[in-house]
Each structure stands twice: as structure tokens, then as C-alpha cells.
């Protein structure tokens, strides 16, 4: 839901758009475009993220790397972020490369700050906290100091590149304090923030010793965007309980002399582009599809980073329960789980890998036959050009995170299906996508028996019902695509009036 090649992994792939296509706007986008006169391209677009996409590449792995790189190829702008090398010097030399009308600006980080800012505060504190996993939060004051230091350094390095009328779009939990740091550096441009992962309710957020500072920093943005209405409501509830911010209407808050917009902007995918990939299977994938067709075997597919938030052990247990309850399915159904590694230097990720591999071995050891392996487990990245036809050839898409910002795999699975004979999406109620994709079979990922029953329902669903559900899901995925997401957010940011003294040239 993005897999840039250099470790550590930049942004969770299930939480960002896979590409840009189409021009249809969401209802949210239409409203924002109407309010701002339909012009979401005032000035340059400056994108800031933890990692920078390769703007020269035509074959990005997906996610943010594709979703916004194409936009910068169409308009003047900058993409700014860490260069991904683990052995630099924080605040060191800035590298600038022009690609068409845009500039790719990358900066280094020291090993100490990679450990403290990225692996530490971002991924050992904020990631588990925002995914409701307080038991996995590893808070250390030094992590927060590194997190603040990196954001302050990024702001100092970015400020000289900014122009008066730039729109600055900051992405994800690594960079929550960046607007505050830019304001202190004298920047008065419109700055928006989009959170790709969930935002927790107040009673979970306050478990962080720095919760007040984080929310105060968020309020220095002009537009704060979330994946779901539930995430936006969580921030609004925190403000109502613990902040002097005054709510003006459903989405606008008065913060001192400024107005801040808080709204949902659900991410989409390049549905047309992903669907086109399904018709370009290489020989290896075609052989696999034909073999299953000859043997009359159906396939359940899951595609997730190996992350504790994805509910992978529960998913394997549900498949095992399905086989126990319906032995007639043995040798006729396989489960393919693609789970590429991520953040392997964080201890919790080693634990989930060991648990998953033990489960796969135990289930296969008990059920497998010489010509049937019930679970096929792939612990490496698989090219999207292979995943798309594999999804199309799978009769069930199994997408059951314990908590997820959006989960674009669900949307990709729908886009990949043959409308004449579509598969069935089994989707967690706790994925952000569930707020939109009502025609999927929604499940509680903590309830193993319910997931097993739902898998059986999906495998035995009549064609007419499969077509009806898929038609509605595909219509939504096609209309609410990645470009609609961008148009909605940038229209809101173009119309923002929150900054105190705008526009003003950033200091050089």
C-alpha cells in the first residue's frame, strides 16, 4: 500500500497510492474545487517526504514513488527528503538534480539519526502508537531529540529552495514537526500535511510523553489530511478535550489568529494502469496460472509488508481453521502470501517474522502432500508486473490488517479482477479501505473463526453475487483514484488562508 530499493524502507507501501490515472474527483475533491474556483495549481508544488522518489525512473515499485513523481513531471516543483544512505552527516551537503521541470533535492543523515529519528522515534514510537500497539512502543528521550533535530535540519535545508507562492505538501509521521520548524525559519507559504497511517484516539495518543508537542506542531499546518473520517474525528476529539483550538465548522478550526482545515482525503490508486498490468503476465506467472487451472485449484492471495500491523499470523490461523472445518477443500485451495521484509533492525519485526515462518512450517508440515503445498510464502519483494496478474488469477483477496491507514492492496485486488468472473475481497473492518469498500466481505481480523467462515463464503459465492459486489467496488475504485486524491488535497491547500503573513519569501 511503495518499495524503494535502498533500506531502510521509506513509507509503508499499503498506505500510499500506487500511481496516477484518470481525472474524476471524489465528492470531497469536487467540494474543494468548487470552493477554490477549481484551481489547485497555484505556484510550484513542493513535496517533502522521508524518502525521495527517483524522478527519472519509469518503473517505480509503487506508492508515493509513483503517485506524486508523475505530478512533478507535469508541473514545476521540488521533491525534498532524505537520500536513504545510512552513513551520512546530518546537515551535510545537499544534492540537487533537475529532472524536467522539477528538482530532486536530497539530504544526508548520520547513523545516529537514522537510528534515533527513523528506526527510533518514527518507527519504534509513532508507528506502533498510531497503530494502537502501546505494548510495542519503545520510547526513549534520545529518540525524540533526534526526531526534532532531523526535522529542524530538514527545515533549514529546505527553506532556501522555497518561493513565495509555493504549495508545500508534507507526507507522513516522520515529519509532523516540519511545519513548525519552517515557520520558525520564517516561511509563510501554505503548508499541508497528509498522514498515510491511522491517527489514534485521545486515550491512546496521550500515552506518548510528547503528545501535546506533536499536536501543537500539527496545528502549524494549514491543511491536515487523513485517510478516513475516523482518523479526522480522533484528532478533533483530542482538540476538544485538550486544546484551546475553536471549532468553526465540520472541518475548520481557529488556532490563535489562524484557521486550520482538518479533513479526510482517502487515497486511491491508478486503477486503469494496474488493471492493464494484469494482461501482461510473464511466462513464469502464466505457467503458474495455467497449472492451477488444469488442476482445478483456487487461490487465496495476500500481499503485505512483513509488519505486525498486518495481522499475518491471524490470517494463517484462519486458513488452517478453514482446512480443518472443510477437509473437502484440501488439494483444491492454496494460499499465497507475499510478505517482503521491512525495518528488520527493529526488534518487533524479527519477532513477527519468526512467528510467521513457524506457522507456515507447522501448517504445511501437517497438511501438505507431494503435489500440494497449502501455503506458499514469499519473503521478498515481488515486482508489481507479476503481482497484478497473480491477483487477477486469485479467487479471494485476503486483506485483514489489525489496523491500517487505507490499504491499497484491497483496491489493487479489485482493479485486477476480470469483471466477467471476478474474485471476492475479504477485508478487515479495521483497514481504512473498509470505510469506503462496503461491498467487500468485512471481517474482524481478531476472530479466527469468523475469518475462516468468510473465506468459505468467498470461495463458494455464486457468480451473480460476485459480479454484483465487484461492479460496485470497481466503480468506486475507478472514480476515486489517485489523481482525485491529489486534486482534493491540493485544492484545499490552494484555498487555505491559515498562515499568519502570506506570502513571504523564505530566508536564504
Q: Please name each of the domains of the chain with its CATH number.
A: 13-268+483-494 (3.40.50.2000), 271-480 (3.40.50.2000)
Q: Residue 63: its pLDDT value, please?
A: 52
Catalytic pick among 196, 470, 476, 480? 196
C-alpha cell at 341: 521484509
Active-site position among 404, 470, 476, 480: 404
Average of per-residue pLDDT across 335-343: 91
Among 4-8, 168-172, 195-199, 463-467, the minimum mean pLDDT is found in 4-8
Q: Which of 40-54, 197-211, 437-451 has the lowest mean pLDDT?
A: 40-54
The pLDDT confidence band at residue 363, using thresholds 50, 70 and 90, is very high
Q: What is the mean pLDDT of residues 207-228?
A: 97
In the chain, the largest separation of any two C-alpha atoms, in whole Å, equals: 72
Interval 3-9 mean pLDDT:
32
The yes-or-no answer on residue 32 being catalytic is: no
- pTM: predicted TM-score of the whole model, two decimal places: 0.88
Percentage of the chain beyond pLDDT 70 is 86
The H or E element spanning position 473 is helix 463-479
Q: For residue 191, what are the β-bridge partners?
A: 168
Mean pLDDT over the full length of the chain: 87
| CA nearest neighbour of 64 among 145, 144, 132, 9 | 9
Closest CA to 196 of 487, 485, 427: 485
Asked if residues 100 and 55 have their Cβ atoms less than 8 Å apart, the reply is yes
- Nearest partner of 265 among 100, 106, 33, judged by Cα: 33
* Whole-number pLDDT of residue 284: 77
pLDDT grade, residue 26 (50/70/90)?
very low
Q: Give the C-alpha distances (Å, rounded to integers) separating 419 from 161, 298, 422, 466.
A: 48, 17, 5, 9
- Provide φ and ψ at 479, rounded to 5°: -80, -35
pLDDT at 183 over 70: yes
Cα separation, 42 vs 496, whole angstroms = 12
7 has pLDDT over 80: no
Residue 456 has pLDDT above 90, yes or no: yes
Q: Flag the least confident range among 40-44, 409-413, 475-479, 488-492.
A: 40-44
Q: 379 catalytic, yes or no? A: no
* pLDDT at residue 65, rounded to an integer: 60
Q: Does residue 16 carry a pLDDT above 60?
A: no
Q: C-alpha 278: how far from its chain's center?
A: 22
Q: Is the dihedral of CA 209, 184, 71, 86 positive or negative?
A: negative
Please provide the distance, in angstroms rounded to a whole number, between the alpha carbons at the two ends of the chain. Answer: 37
The CA distance from 459 to 439, in Å, is 16
Amino acid at each position: 500500500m511503495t518499495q524503494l530499493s535502498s533500506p531502510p524502507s521509506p513509507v509503508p507501501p499499503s498506505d500510499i497510492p500506487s500511481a496516477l490515472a484518470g481525472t474524476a474527483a471524489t465528492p470531497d475533491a469536487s467540494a474543494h474545487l468548487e470552493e477554490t474556483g477549481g484551481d489547485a495549481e497555484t505556484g510550484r508544488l513542493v513535496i517533502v517526504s522521508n524518502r525521495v522518489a527517483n524522478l527519472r525512473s519509469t518503473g517505480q515499485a509503487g506508492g508515493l514513488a509513483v503517485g506524486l513523481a508523475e505530478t512533478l513531471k507535469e508541473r514545476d516543483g521540488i521533491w525534498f527528503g532524505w537520500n536513504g544512505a545510512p552513513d551520512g552527516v546530518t546537515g551535510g551537503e545537499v544534492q540537487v538534480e533537475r529532472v524536467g521541470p522539477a528538482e530532486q533535492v536530497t539530504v544526508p543523515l548520520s547513523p545516529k539519526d537514522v537510528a534515533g529519528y527513523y528506526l527510533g522515534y518514527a518507527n519504534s514510537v509513532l508507528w506502533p502508537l498510531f497503530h494502537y500497539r502501546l505494548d510495542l512502543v519503545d520510547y526513549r528521550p534520545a529518540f525524540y531529540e533526534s526526531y526534532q533535530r532531523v526535522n529542524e535540519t530538514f527545515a533549514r535545508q529546505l527553506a532556501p529552495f522555497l518561493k513565495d507562492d509555493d504549495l508545500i505538501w508534507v507526507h507522513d509521521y516522520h515529519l509532523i514537526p516540519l511545519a513548525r520548524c519552517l515557520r520558525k525559519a520564517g516561511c509563510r507559504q501554505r503548508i499541508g500535511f497528509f498522514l498515510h497511517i491511522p491517527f489514534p484516539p485521545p486515550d491512546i495518543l496521550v500515552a506518548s510523553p510528547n503528545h501535546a508537542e506533536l499536536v501543537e506542531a500539527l496545528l502549524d499546518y494549514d491543511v491536515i489530511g487523513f485517510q478516513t473520517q475516523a482518523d479526522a474525528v480522533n484528532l478533533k476529539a483530542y482538540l476538544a478535550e485538550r486544546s484551546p483550538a475553536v471549532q468553526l465548522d465540520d472541518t475548520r478550526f481557529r488556532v490563535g489568529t489562524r484557521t486550520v482545515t482538518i479533513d479526510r482525503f482517502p487515497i486511491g490508486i491508478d486503477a486503469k494502469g494496474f488493471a492493464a498490468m494484469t494482461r501482461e503476465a510473464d511466462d513464469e506467472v502464466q505457467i503458474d496460472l495455467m497449472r492451477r487451472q488444469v488442476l482445478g485449484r483456487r487461490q487465496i492471495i495476500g500481499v503485505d509488508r512483513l509488519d505486525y500491523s498486518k495481522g499475518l499470523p491471524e490470517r494463517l490461523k484462519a486458513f488452517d481453521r478453514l482446512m480443518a472445518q472443510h477437509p473437502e477443500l484440501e488439494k483444491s485451495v492454496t494460499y499465497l502470501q507475499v510478505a517482503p521484509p521491512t525495518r528488520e533492525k527493529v526488534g518487533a519485526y524479527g519477532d513477527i517474522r519468526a512467528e510467521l515462518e513457524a506457522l507456515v512450517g507447522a501448517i504445511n508440515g501437517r497438511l501438505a502432500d507431494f503435489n500440494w503445498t497449502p501455503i506458499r510464502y514469499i519473503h521478498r519483494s515481488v515486482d508489481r508486473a507479476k503481482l497484478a496478474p497473480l491477483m487477477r488469477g486469485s479467487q479471494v483477496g485476503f486483506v485483514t490488517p489489525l489496523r491500517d491507514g487505507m490499504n491499497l492492496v484491497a483496491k489493487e485486488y479489485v482493479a485486477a479482477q476480470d469483471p466477467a468472473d471476478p474474485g471476492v475481497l475479504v477485508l478487515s473492518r479495521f483497514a481504512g479501505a473498509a470505510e469506503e469498500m462496503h461491498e467487500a466481505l468485512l471481517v474482524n481480523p481478531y476472530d479466527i473463526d469468523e475469518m475462516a467462515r468468510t473465506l468459505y463464503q468467498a470461495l463458494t459465492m455464486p457468480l451473480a453475487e460476485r459480479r454484483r459486489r465487484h461492479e460496485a467496488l470497481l466503480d468506486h475504485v475507478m472514480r476515486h483514484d489517485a489523481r482525485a486524491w491529489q486534486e482534493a488535497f491540493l485544492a484545499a491547500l490552494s484555498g487555505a488562508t491559515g498562515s499568519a503573513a502570506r506570502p513571504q519569501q523564505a530566508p536564504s
